[in-house]
Every structure is written in C-alpha cells, then in structure tokens.
Structure 1
Amino acid sequence: MVTAREIMTSPVETVTPDDDVSDVLTRLAKADFSGFPVVEDGAVVGIVTETDLVDLFQPSNRRLWIPVGFPPFVETLTYSVDLSWSDLDVGVDLVKNAGKPIRDVMITDVVTVSPEDSVESVIDHLADPDRDINRLPVVEDDQLVGIISREDVLRTLSERGVSV
C-alpha cells in the first residue's frame, strides 16, 4: 500500500496568517505551484490559493443584474450587464487590498491527511465532487509535515505503472 508519506513533498513552503496579501501574491507569482498552507506555530490554520487572491482583484461574478419594467417589478425582464475590468479598477483594488493579512482571505476549513493514509484516501479527497481540492496538507501530531498535490498523485501512479 502506497502511503501519503511516500508521495508527499517536504519541506513545505508556507505563509502565516499575518503575512500581507501583496507579499503572498508576489511569492505565488514566482512559485511553480498555486497555493500555500497557512501555518501558525507549525499547525495548519488555513490554506490560500491563487483563486482566493485573484478574486480580491477581479471577482469572478462581475455582472450587474438590472430589472426592467414597472414597479413592483413582478414578471419583469432582467438584463445582465458585464462590468469589464479596467487597469484603474485593478489598481484601485490592489491598493485597497495590499495591506490585508492573509487571515482575511484564507480558507479555514482545510482537509488534511496523515502520513499513514493510503493513496486511495488521498485520491478520494482530491476527487471529491463537492470540494475543489488541489493540494492536501499532511499533518502528524498537529504539525505540518508535507503536502500532496494532484500532480504528486498522478506522478506516483504513472511511476508505478498504474493504468486507468
């Protein structure tokens, strides 16, 4: 049985809850991965991804819905207007959010695995249709000891000649 310990990456690059959003975004821009575990005293307290940070500057739903008709707007038509982003919008959002700590944007409901969990268990978490998990922190005795990405699992399966 292949365990999480055998496929995890260690040591893990991390950030703290007090790290500045702009600093973390800069680190992610230079990294070859797309998220950091957020760690306090060695314990995982959250996770932050590119998506979390990009949404600060360009929310995915940038549409304005306008009801058209006469009050009380019963059975009216609704039009959607796409509010496109300009350089000014991004610049204003950058200034507004640059000083925020990561604790304000991190995900706190983090799924973790133990080093002895099976690769099947890891795959179950990564393939969960209700969550969009790309990486799993590996925790032992409440301390972060590694991380497993989807790529790590695929590489392991490929190296072991597992066919799908």
Structure 2
Amino acid sequence: MNASDLMTDEVETVHEDDDISDVLTRLARADFNGFPVVDDDDRVVGIVTQHDLVHIFQPSDRTLWIPVGFPPFLETLEYAIDLSWDDLDTELDLLKHAGKPVRTVMTEDVVTVGPDADFDRILDLLADDERDINRLPVVDEDGKLLGIVARQDVLRAVRDERRAKAESGL
C-alpha cells in the first residue's frame, strides 16, 4: 500500500494570495482543519492550519500587570489582566490581518510525499514526535498537488486490513 492508494485526490486548496479573512471563513465551514497552499501552477508552497490562523489573534504577551495597594503601599497585590481576547482587540487583529495574503501566516516548510511513498514512510511522518502532522500532501516530481493523505486515511486502512485478516481467519 502506498500514498496513491491512500490519498484523496479531490483536495480543497487555497492560493498563496488568498486573503486571510477568506481562508478563515472557508476553514470555519470545513470538516477539516487546514488547507494545502498552492501557487499559480498548482505547486504546493505551504500549508495553513487552524493553528497558524489562531496565532494571529494570540500575540505572545498582552498581559497588563497592575499593582494594587493602599498607602503607604507597604504591601501590594498584583493583578494580571489578559488583554489578548478582548473583543475590541480581536476585531483590531482581524482588521489588521484581514487583507493580508495567506502566505504571510502559512507554514512554508511543508512535509510532502510522492505517490509511491510506502505505508511505513507515511506512518512514520504522521506519527513523528517532533512535528504534529495531520495531513500529507502528495505531490509529483514538480511539486504539483496530486492528493492528500490524512491521519484518518491511515487509521481507516489499518482498520480495514485488520478486519480483512480477522475475516479470513489469519
């Protein structure tokens, strides 16, 4: 079994120049959590996931620390107020990023496989401890998208193989 046996060949993609707001809208309606990003020649140039898009609304440090105490301020308490999910702040972030192309937030170092990649190679990539890969774009020698293999496809294949073995008495 190889990538071409496992892949789905009807893949929803986004173009590297698509607006972030359009991609967010499409992703909100999708049954999955990311898109391969392609260029004008349908070559895979990146991948954009919910994780990539959420990060534009979660800046690293927007916590305001306020010392509170009474004169003569010998003892004070500090209260932290997280401003990162304030409605106005979120709307400002959306406005700031809405017209930008998705290539500004996509992951460029996308892991791909060829159509002849074997099952063990695919399994190793999807189970990698260092990267959290949920889907593998399948590309030809020129980097053009042929299909995609998701973790669910691999799990389904394992399940089907186990059932077939059980039914045959092996």
Tell me the TM-score normalised to structure 2 length: 0.81
Q: Secondary structure at the match of 2:14?
A: coil
Task: Report percent identity of matched pairs.
Answer: 55
The residue type paired with residue 11 of structure 2 is V
Residues 63, 81 of structure 1: 8 Å contact kept: no
Residues 7, 149 of structure 2: 8 Å contact kept: yes
Give, in whole Å, the separation in 2 of the partners of 1:131 and 1:80: 36
Aligned residues: 150
Residues 126, 134 of structure 2: 8 Å contact kept: yes
Residues 45, 108 of structure 2: 8 Å contact kept: yes
Matched residue, 1:108: 108
Aligned CA distance change for structure 1 residues 62 and 149 (closer, same or farther; 3 Å) = farther
Q: Secondary structure at the match of 1:107?
A: coil
Task: Please list, as runs of the form range in 1=range in 2, the aligned pairs for 1:100-139 lying within 5 A after superposition.
Answer: 100-139=100-139
Give, in whole Å, the separation in 2 of the partners of 1:82 and 1:3: 51
Q: Does 1:11 align with 2:29?
A: no
When the two chains are superposed, the root-mean-square deviation of aligned CA atoms in Å is 2.2
Shift of 1:107: 0.6
Aligned CA distance change for structure 1 residues 97 and 156 (closer, same or farther; 3 Å) = same
Shift of 1:62: 4.4
Residues 64, 82 of structure 2: 8 Å contact kept: no
Between 126-135 and 80-89, the greater mean CA deviation after superposition:
80-89
Matched residue, 2:74: none
Q: Secondary structure at the match of 2:106?
A: coil
Aligned CA distance change for structure 1 residues 5 and 86 (closer, same or farther; 3 Å) = same
Q: Secondary structure at the match of 2:112?
A: coil
Unmatched segments (≥5 aa) in structure 1? 69-78
Unmatched segments (≥5 aa) in structure 2? 68-77, 166-170
Shift of 1:65: 8.9
Higher helix share: 2
Task: Please list, as runs of the form range in 1=range in 2, the aligned pairs for 1:20-99 lying within 5 A after superposition.
Answer: 20-40=19-39, 41-59=41-59, 61-62=60-61, 64=63, 81=80, 83-84=82-83, 85-99=85-99
Over residues 103-124 of structure 1, what are the superposed CA-to-partner deviations in whole Å (9 max), with x where a residue is unaligned? 1001110110111111110010
Aligned CA distance change for structure 1 residues 110 and 161 (closer, same or farther; 3 Å) = same
Give, in whole Å, the separation in 2 of the partners of 1:82 and 1:161: 52
Give the 4+ runs in structure 1 shifted more than 6 A.
none
Matched residue, 2:160: 159
Which has the larger Rg? Answer: 2
Aligned CA distance change for structure 1 residues 56 and 159 (closer, same or farther; 3 Å) = same
